[in-house]
Structure 1
Amino acid sequence: MSPRIRLLTVLLFLLSYSRLQAHGSPLDEQLNPGKALDAINMTMVHDVVSPPVAGRYYAYSMLGAYSIVATHNKSLPSPQSFVKSFPPTLRLDTITAKYDYRIAAYYSILETARLLLPSGENLAEEQASFLQTLEKKGVKPSLLAQSVKVGKLASAAVVGFSKTDSYGRLSALKRYTPLKAEGMWYPTPPAYMEAVEPNWKTIRPMIIDSANAFRPAPLTPFSKDTTSAFYQQVKGVYDISKRLTADQLQIAQFWDCNPFAVNTSGHMSIGFKKISPGGHWMNIAALVSKQAKLGFDKTVAVLCVEGLTLMDAFISCWEIKYDTNRIRPETYINRYMDVKWQPILQTPPFPEYTSGHAVISNASAEVLTYLLGDKLAYIDNTEIPFGSGERPFTSFRQAAAEASVSRFYGGIHYIESIDNGNAQGKKIGSFIVAKMRTAGFKPFTTAAAVGYSK
C-alpha cells in the first residue's frame, strides 16, 4: 500500500470514528434504560400494583443492573457500600468470558421484573424483541448469549436478596380490620376497598435504618367541635373543593396516579388503571437523565437510587399511616358536614396521615437534586398515556411541591398531612443523600454540584 493510499485510509477511518462519536453508537437507543422502565411500568399498570409494592419492585429491578454497571465503572460505588445487608456474593469481576456489560445490565432490569412481578412473564416477549433487535444490528449471538447469562446471574442474586426482606411473610400476618371508632380510617366509596398493605412497616428498608426512623410531627387530635383545629383542617379541604381554579384542578388530575380508580354508573362499576406515584417519579428520573445526556451507566445509577428511595420512603410513610390510622376527609365530611360531598379525586384505600405523595415526592426530589441539580427545567410527559397531558417544571423540588399540594386540591388530604409529609420526605431524602456521599456517589452534572446546598 502506497503512503498516499495509507494516509487516505487513515483519514477515512478517523472521519468514520468522529461521526460515530458525534451521533452515538447505533446501539445507544436500544440500550436506553428508560425503554426497559416503560415495559415494567405497563406491566405494573396491568397488574394494578399498589404504591408501596411498586416501590419495592422498582428498587430490586434496578439493583441487579446497577451491580453490573458498578463492576465495570469504578467511579460508581458498589451497591454493598450503601444498600443495607446486600450480600457481596455476586462477583462479576471474576467472569472471564467476553460479554457486553450494558446488554447484561439492560437484560437484568427486565429479567428481575419478570421474576418478581405477578404478570412478569409478559416481559419475556420484551426480552426476546430486545435480543432480536441487537442481533439484527450486528451483535454476535455468542456475545449476546454470554451477556444474557451475566444479566441472569445478577437478577438471581437480587431476587435471592429480595426473599429476605419479609415480603413473603405478609400474608401470614394478622388481617387488618377497620375500626368504626370516631376519628379512625374506614373504607371509602365507591368501591370500599380494603386497606392496602397494613403491615408494610415489617419490610426491611434498603438504606434507612428502620421504618420509624423518620416519624413526622404529631398530628392534630380528632374533634367534631367546629371551633377546633381539626375541624378547621377539614373545612380547609371542603372550602378549596368549592373554588378550585382551572390550574388547581389540572394539578390534582395530573398527579392523581391512582393504580385503580373505580367509577360507578347505576349498577355498573368501571375500573381505570394508571401509573403509581412511584412509577411517575421513576419516569421523571428517566426522562431527565436522557435530557441531561447522562449515558447508560449514570442513568442506571439514577434509576437504581430513585427506586431504593421510593421503597424506603413508602416503608416510612406506611408505618405512620397505620400507627395513626386517621380518618379521611371524605369520611369526616360525609358524616358531620355534607353527606353529598365528594372529593375531586377518588380517596385511596388506606389511612390519611401522612400524605404518601408528599413523602415520596420530597424524598425523590432531594435525591434527584443531589445527582442532577436544582435548576434543571424539564417537561413531564408521564401522564400522557393516562389522559392528563404534560406539565413543565423548573426543578425537582418544584415538582415535589406541586405533587404534594395536589392531594389537598383533590380533596383526599388535610394540609397538615401534606406539610408534615413534606418535612418527613425531605429528611428521608437528605439521609439517603448523606449515605450516598459517604459511599462515594458524586453529583452527575455540574449543575448538581452547584445546586444541592444541603
Structure 2
Amino acid sequence: MKQLIVILLLASNSLYAQKKIAYEDLMQPAVFSLSMVMLHDVVNPPAASRYYAYCTLGAYDIVSQNNNAIVAPSSFIKRYTPVVITTPKTSYDYHIAALYCVYESGRLLLPSGYMLEENEKTFIELLQKHKIKQSVIDSSVAVAKSVAAQIAAWSKQDDYGKLSTRLRYTPLKGDGYWFPTPPSYMEAVEPNWKTVKTLVIDSCNQFVPAPPEKFSKDSGTKFYALAREVYDVSKNPSQEQLNVAGFWDCNPFAVASEGHMMIGFKKISPGGHWMNITAIAAKKAKLDFDKTIQIHAIEAVTLMDAFISCWDEKYRSNRIRPETYINRYIDLKWQPLLQTPPFPEYTSGHSVVSTASAEVLTYLLGDNFSFTDNSEEMFELKPRTFSSFRKAAAEAAISRLYGGIHFRDAIESGQVEGKAIGKFICEKINAAGIKPVIQ
C-alpha cells in the first residue's frame, strides 16, 4: 500500500514538470488520500460516504464561484449554504484552493485527519517546485482553509453528531431478524444512520423498497428457496463468480481467525470504489479541472443519500443474513465466501449505492461508456473492464449473491431503490442546469 502511495505522489510530481500543471489529474490522488485515511481508521461504509461528500463540496463551491458555467451546489442541495470567499479572485488560484480544500476538509473531518498534513505539505512543495508565486500559494491555501472550516461547521447541521447520544442498539428477538455473525460477532453498524439528514433526496424514506420475502423455516417456501440458492451457488462457484465476488468485496474490516488469533484485513468501502471509478471515468473523458471537481462532488453526494436510504430500510426490515439462516436450517458448518458485514441484510447496500451511482454517471457521461476499473489493484485483484456504468453496477449487485452475503430479493430490490434514487438526483441536477458532460 505504501508503495502505491509513493507511486501516486511521484506521478503527481511528474505533472508539475510539465509547462502547464494538469490540475485535473491531481483530483484522484487527493481523493485517494482520503480513502487511505479512512482505510486506516476503519471507517464504515455509510460514514465514508458522508466524508467523501463534505470533503468534495468545498472544492466544488470554490470552482463554481470562479466559473459561472459550473452550476453551484446550492442549486440542487436543499440545505446547502454557499461558502463565503472574501479574497479577490485575482489574488489566488482557485485550482490550488480547491485541491487543497479536499485535503484540509479531510484533515478537519476525519478521525485521523492529521495524517493528511503530510499530503498538504507535499502538495505545497510541488507547487513551489513548479515556481508558483509564494504569495499566490499562501492566498490560495488561506481560501482553502477558510472554505474547509465553513464546510466542517455546516456539516454539523446534519445531526451526525447526535448519533453517539442515542441508545445502544440491541438485536431484535425473533427467528427472522438479524443477529451478529461470526467470526467476530461485531455490533450492528450505524443503526440510527437514517437520522442523518439527506442532501438531495427529500428524506431517508422517500424510496422505501417493496417488503422483503416473508421469513419461513419451511423448505417449501420462497424464503427457503432464496437461502438455498445462496447455498447452492457457494458449493460449486465458477471462477468468474469467485472473481466477481472478490473484486466487489469492499469490506472495510474483515476478520480472519487462526486458532486463538484474529487478524483484520482492511479494504476500501463501496463508496471509495465508486469514487475511484468516477476518477477513472473523468480522466478517460478528458474532463477539464472544473468538471472533474463537479462530477466527483455529485457522485459523493449521491453516495451519501443512497446510504441513508438503504440504512433506513435495513433497520426497518431488520432481516436475517444468509449465513445465520443457512447455519440454523441447512448446514451448520457452512461459511460464505465473503465475510458477512455487521448489519441487517435487506436491502443490499452495494446494490443500492452502485445502481444509484451508475444512473448519475450515465446521465453525466453517457451510456455505453466503457472503462477499466483498477480500484482493487492495491489488494492484488486484477482490473475488470466494463462496457457501461450500469453493467458495472449490475456486477457489483450480483457479487453479493456469489459472495454468500445477500439473498436475491435484497439485491433486486436494492437495484430498484438505487435506480429511483439515481434518477431523482439526475432530475434535480438537470433542473438546476447541470447538463450531460458528454452529449
TM-score by length of 1: 0.91
1:82 aligns with 2:67: no
Q: Which runs of 5+ in 2 are unaligned?
A: 1-16
* Other structure's SS at 1:109 match: helix
- Report which of the two structures shows the higher radius of gyration computed on alpha carbons: 1
Q: Which residue of 1 aligns with 2:13?
A: none
Residues in 2 aligned to 1:62 and 1:139: alpha-carbon distance in whole angstroms = 24
Q: 1:30, CA displacement in angstroms?
A: 8.0
Q: Which residue of 2 aligns with 1:122?
A: 115
Q: Which residue of 1 aligns with 2:195?
A: 202
Q: 1:388, CA displacement in angstroms?
A: 1.6
Aligned partner (choices 15, 27, 32) of residue 26 of structure 2: 32
Report Cα offsets for 1:62-84 as digits up to 9, x if no partner: 00000000111111111111112
Residues in 1 aligned to 2:355 and 2:386: alpha-carbon distance in whole angstroms = 15
Report Cα offsets for 1:251-288 as digits up to 9, x if no partner: 00000000000000100100000000000000000111
Are the aligned partners of 1:27 and 1:134 in contact in 2 as well (CA < 8 Å)? no
- Cα 1:317–1:112, aligned 2, differ >3 Å: closer, same or farther? same
TM-score by length of 2: 0.95
Are the aligned partners of 1:97 and 1:146 in contact in 2 as well (CA < 8 Å)? no
Residue 394 of structure 1 aligns with an amino acid whose one-letter code is S
Q: 1:26, CA displacement in angstroms?
A: 3.1
Q: Which sits farther off after the overlay, 164-173 or 72-81?
A: 72-81
Q: 1:152, CA displacement in angstroms?
A: 1.1
Report Cα offsets for 1:167-204 as digits up to 9, x if no partner: 10000011100124110000000010000000000000
1:181 aligns with 2:174: yes
RMSD, aligned α-carbons: 1.3
Q: Which residue of 1 aligns with 2:209?
A: 216
Report Cα offsets for 1:193-247 as digits up to 9, x if no partner: 0000000000000100000000011111100011111111111111111121000
Residue 113 of structure 1 aligns with an amino acid whose one-letter code is G
Q: Which residue of 2 aligns with 1:60?
A: 54
Residue 273 of structure 1 aligns with an amino acid whose one-letter code is K
Report Cα offsets for 1:21-43 as digits up to 9, x if no partner: xx975321586211101111111
Aligned partner (choices 370, 382, 385) of residue 363 of structure 2: 370
Q: Which residue of 2 aligns with 1:321?
A: 314
* Other structure's SS at 1:216 match: coil
Are the aligned partners of 1:108 and 1:152 in contact in 2 as well (CA < 8 Å)? yes
Extract structure 1 runs of 4+ deviating beyond 4 A: none
Same amino acid, percent of matched pairs: 55
Report Cα offsets for 1:307-363 as digits up to 9, x if no partner: 000000000000000010000000000011100000000000000000000000000
1:234 aligns with 2:227: yes
* Other structure's SS at 2:277 match: helix
Q: Which residue of 2 aligns with 1:16?
A: none
1:172 aligns with 2:173: no
5 Å matches for 1:47-446? 47-88=41-82, 90-92=83-85, 95=88, 98-446=91-439
Are the aligned partners of 1:31 and 1:103 in contact in 2 as well (CA < 8 Å)? no
Residues in 2 aligned to 1:302 and 1:288: alpha-carbon distance in whole angstroms = 10
* Other structure's SS at 1:404 match: helix
Q: 1:376, CA displacement in angstroms?
A: 1.2
Residues in 2 aligned to 1:195 and 1:95: alpha-carbon distance in whole angstroms = 49
Residue 85 of structure 1 aligns with an amino acid whose one-letter code is R
* Other structure's SS at 2:91 match: coil
Q: Which residue of 1 aligns with 2:9?
A: none
Residues in 2 aligned to 1:82 and 1:160: alpha-carbon distance in whole angstroms = 20
Are the aligned partners of 2:211 and 2:317 in contact in 1 as well (CA < 8 Å)? no
Residue 38 of structure 1 aligns with an amino acid whose one-letter code is F
Residues in 2 aligned to 1:162 and 1:152: alpha-carbon distance in whole angstroms = 15
- Cα 1:312–1:25, aligned 2, differ >3 Å: closer, same or farther? farther
Residue 118 of structure 1 aligns with an amino acid whose one-letter code is P
| Count of residue pairs brought into register by the alignment | 423
